[in-house]
A and B are shown apart, each in its own frame.
Chain A
Amino acid sequence: MHLVIIGNGITGVTCALTARRLRPEARITLVAEESPHHISRPALMYVYLGHLRLPDIKPYEDWFWAENRLELVHATATAFDAQARTVQLSTGASLAYDALLLATGSRSRPGQWPGRELAGVQGFVTLPDLAQMTRDTHGIGQAVVVGGGLIGIELAEMLAAKGVAVTMLVREAHYWGSVLPPEEGALVQRQLDAHHITVRYATELDALLPDGLGRVRAVRTRTGEELPAQWVGLAIGVEPNTDLARTGGLEVARGILVDELLRTSAPQVYAAGDCAQHRQPGPGELAVEQLWYTGRQQGETVAYAICGQPRPYRRGVWFNSAKFFDLEYQTYGRVPARPDPAEHSFCWQHPSGCHLLRLNFRSDTLAVTGVNVLGLRHRHETWHRWLQAGTPAPQVLAELGAANFDPEFFRRYEADIVAAFNQQFPQHPVVRQRRTGWFGR
């Protein structure tokens, strides 16, 4: 069997590794245009900051691919023929496949603003984006970042570290307003303030203004205000990369449409990761999932399907994490930005403004539905168990120490959290269970 995978991101690579484990004899080829080897895209910012070098963000050393008989082709897949089962490459070669995975990922949403094409205006998703930013941010004094999400704040951190004055334009009323409740947004705001990032909330971009040499000079907001900027980052989200899928005549909506085994509309052609769109997402689940973790899980699902052990894609309990400057964020389960009427939302904050825990639970059964932690580390396995079992919130709080994943000697806040809960929900009193013995973990 010859498995051809287009894209060497986490989705494509996970599929390749899983297929290698399930079918040691299979021929597996990874085609990628971005870089010859798999790189960690979330780590691109660390290369710019100088924490790491490019080779350091390769999750596997170069010998790994040859030793595991994973063939790497550094080329663009320009078209594929679902009838003939071949993929055309930019090198002129064509690859015959028995199974094909399109893991073409996503690209920055370009936006429609005038001046979009000016030099010094770009998104930040791929390795070429990093190269472009590296080239274009030498010697600049001011930059504007459009978009208040994960990539937006990353860009702000990267630029600020180089001594660039950064202004963020954010459409919502607080940071990452589509995902974070206001208290969490306020904590992130403290970080933005501490790092001297100017944020304009409820502000939208109107146009990008040129300097006469084809380079961006300033941006104009909808209110007509002009902000000088020699570089502008557009971080208004990503969209599925479906160009190749369209050449093969696959059914495409926002992303490449797939069923629960991640099969596309053509036989033996699969799509997974950022570029795929579920025809029937589970209740409360997204049709297009653009996370590192979901990419990994989808890659596995495809490998199992191709290797004759199909198991439908089940994302399981949602989780994610990020870091906003110096503030770590983890989330398990579902914590909507706006309260769900059927749920209670308990939120504890440390007076320092550096730690927060939000616990959502159903008001009828008290079953926990999600948690946000900021400035605290929590244990994935523990939350996975609690959320899957629908453990009642009082019990979770009583045992909260079991979820703590902070390093030794860090202050523990379980007592404060439980006290705050008892004050806010006296009808559900919690008695905190203490760890027993020296080695209670």
Chain B
Amino acid sequence: MTTAPVSPVSVPEKLLLAVVGLGLLLLLPVAFDADAQRARLCFFAALGLLSAGTLGWSWWKFGRGPAGVRQNNLWLRASTARGALAWLMAVVLTGFYVVLYWFSADNGQGNFGPLNQLVHALDPVSQALRHRPADQWFLYGTFYTLAVLLMGGRALWKYRHSPYQRVRTASVMFFQLGFAFLLPGLLLAFQRPEYYFSYFWPLKYDYLFPGTVGYLLKDGGPALGVFMVFWGAVMSFVATPVLTYFFGKRWYCSWVCGCGGLAETAGDPYRHLSDKSRTAWRWEVRLIYPILGFIVLVTVLLWLGAAGALPGWFTTPRQSGLPLVSGLSPVDGLSKVYGFFIGSIFSGVIGVGFYPLMGSRVWCRFGCPMAAYLGLLQKYFSRFRISTNGGQCISCGNCSNACEMGIDVKQYAQRGEPIIRASCVGCGLCSTVCPRGVLNLENGPREGRYQASPLISADSLRILG
């Protein structure tokens, strides 16, 4: 079948996109200009153009005209349908992460490799916020926060007809800006450990490692350090089960979490790319639960080692042929392996770099141990479910398409069954895009949580497994 016509891109839209492109181009001279002053000027001009262009374009595309679901041409444009532009974007993003993680560390003289000029362009901002020069992570944090805020603006306009989406988008923007950018910076300014109050073990796995706990207690001071360790432990082991019981895992994954925040804002144009097939689901369970097991094991071993409860073999450093773990004890080596493969490659390089090809939640869906933990709680110890509305479903597939976690939502809706899946992050987009008002996120009682609608006799044929 031939492809459907694509609506023409208007001249103002082209101009606004050109402003975004100009902003991106202007980042190049920043990276290569020897004159630091000029580089800085270019840098802020670039950020200005990027911001103005992105917000202007979002308003032009979604902010004018009537409010409603605007998904037109998603699968017809190369940029959002795995076309050439999407591949280019994926290569650029992945490349940025590779450079950031492995080629832009401080060489000891304040040089950050290929990102050096970009990092130093941010020195004044970093000095103002953190009372210290910028480093590559501050650059990353700035870009990340900017992406969440600008594309959050886009999401606010795009979904402005839905109060749920407005409140939720504002929430991820708030937590990213306040809890993951400003507050950690201020802590540094006050000579305290840089601590993210919105990230918890096992996503921020080292927060409950003996080494980090010791360091927080020492550097955080008697009051703040104890509070940070207490906060981390309480959030992981008390608040997480309690909040998930009442609201499902969405309280974290699509309202608070920074990874989720980026996915819901910058990743929104790619949410439909997540694979809905049964094969993808099999990979999901094959990966995410072993990763949760892995980090639990590492954490337990580290604490046992710290307590001296392990045989010496585990905690004695040794040389080996593997450069990654050479000179480390087996337990520390295991922790290093986790950090390298899961913490860096999976969550960063693949997690964000592959947005334009595999959707915005690759990491959350296949890798995040916090999502796995929350998911188990959501499936077995929660009141949350997505209710389906009697017999109104027409199997159109818009819900499945919008699901960034790759849940084939219509399989449940067309049988009148509530959707209770470990992976659901409760973003609510299935409900937002449903043309027949079939889906609703509810914190209903636990009794009858799995009860299907009596108005459809659901077939009993299996769809997973």
Contact = CB atoms under 8 A, between A and B. Distances in A.
Interface of A: 10, 17-18, 20-21, 40, 42-43, 46-54, 56-61, 63-64, 68, 130-131, 134-135, 137-139, 161-163, 191, 194-195, 292-293, 296, 300, 319, 321-323, 325-326, 328, 330, 377-381, 384, 405-411, 439, 441
Interface in B423-465: 428, 431-432, 435-437, 440-445, 453-457, 459-461, 463
A384 B8 CA distance: 45
Interface in B1-59: 1-8
A61 B1 contact: no
Given A51-B398, A161-B7, A330 B74 contact: no
Interface residues of B, number: 66
B285 interface: no
A208 to B, nearest CB: 21
Main SS at interface, chain A: mixed
19 contacts: A17-B459, A43-B396, A43-B397, A46-B397, A50-B72, A50-B73, A50-B75, A54-B1, A56-B397, A56-B400, A59-B397, A134-B2, A134-B5, A191-B66, A326-B68, A330-B436, A407-B428, A407-B432, A408-B164
B4 A410 contact: no
B397 A40 contact: yes
Contacts of A410: 162-164
B187 interface: no
A408 B441 contact: yes
A51 B5 contact: no
A59 B455 contact: no
Contacts of B435: 322-323, 328
A65 B129 CA distance: 60
A185 B361 CA distance: 41
Nearest to A194: B66
B395 A162 contact: no
A51 B391 contact: no
Closest 5 CB pairs of A and B: A380-B390, A326-B68, A377-B437, A43-B396, A50-B76
B359 to A, nearest CB: 14
Contacts of A17: 459, 461
A161 B410 CA distance: 25
Main SS at interface, chain B: loop
A409 B160 CA distance: 13
B4 A439 contact: no
Contacts of A59: 395, 397, 410-411, 414
Instruction: Determine which residue in B387, B396, B428, B453 has the highest number of CB atoms from chain A within 10 A of its CB, and name it.
Output: B396
B392 A326 contact: no
Contacts of B326: none
B75 A381 contact: no
A380 B67 contact: no
B75 A51 contact: yes
Interface in B154-199: 161-164, 166-167
Given A48-B4, A410-B163, A68 B461 contact: yes
A325 B68 contact: yes
Given A405-B440, A441-B442, A52 B75 contact: yes
Given A52-B401, A138-B5, A326-B161, A381 B459 contact: no
A51 B394 contact: no
B274 interface: no
Nearest to A291: B394
Given A52-B397, A439-B444, 11 more contacts: A46-B71, A50-B73, A59-B397, A59-B414, A64-B461, A162-B7, A319-B392, A326-B67, A326-B161, A377-B440, A407-B164
B217 interface: no
Contact of B394 (A43, A54, A161, A325): A43
A380 B455 CA distance: 8
Given A51-B72, A161-B7, A328-B437, A409 B444 contact: no
A262 to B, nearest CB: 16
A322 B434 CA distance: 11
A330 B5 contact: no
Contacts of B74: 50-51
Given A63-B278, A377-B389, A384-B390, A407 B5 contact: no
A35 to B, nearest CB: 11
Contacts of A323: 435-436
Contacts of A68: 461
Given A56-B397, A163-B7, A381 B277 contact: no
Contacts of B400: 56
A330 B397 CA distance: 19
A409 B164 contact: yes
B105 interface: no
